[in-house]
Structure 1
């Protein structure tokens, strides 16, 4: 079992980054994709359907379904949930 008591002063320093530092300049080193690494990518605009499929079930002779829909309005977006019940005729 490893000891739980340790001294950070005994940890060897990490080697210096080699990305073009010279003299008293402040240099920030990063990969080109680092800014986008943890960001969600924009979803494609899809007006043909919903990103979430319709949920549908039958309760006896009654069919029930739930759908989501989004419509862009001037200055805002309208997110909707629709619950439909279809009774036998």
Structure 2
């Protein structure tokens, strides 16, 4: 008989992927907060563009981390 409470590698993939997705979601929300604060400050166009240029790589990185996490969850589910 197999013990169903045993933690497997695939469970680790699922939970690790969920953690990565959550980390990516937090990063995306942080980018939203940065841009929202800049908009509320009513910065001039040049300064707003500078804020957006700084946030764009962070936004893409957070999106990438989130996608990788979701892919790990899917792989863990399929292999389990």
TM-score range, shorter chain: under 0.3
Which has the higher relative contact order, 1 or 2, with Cα contacts under 8 A spaced 6 or more apart?
A: 2
> As a proportion of its length, which structure holds more helix?
2
Q: Give the greater-gyration-radius structure (CA).
A: 1
TM-score, normalised to structure 1, is 0.20
Higher strand proportion, which one?
A: 1
User: What TM-score does the superposition give when structure 2 sets the normalisation length?
Assistant: 0.21
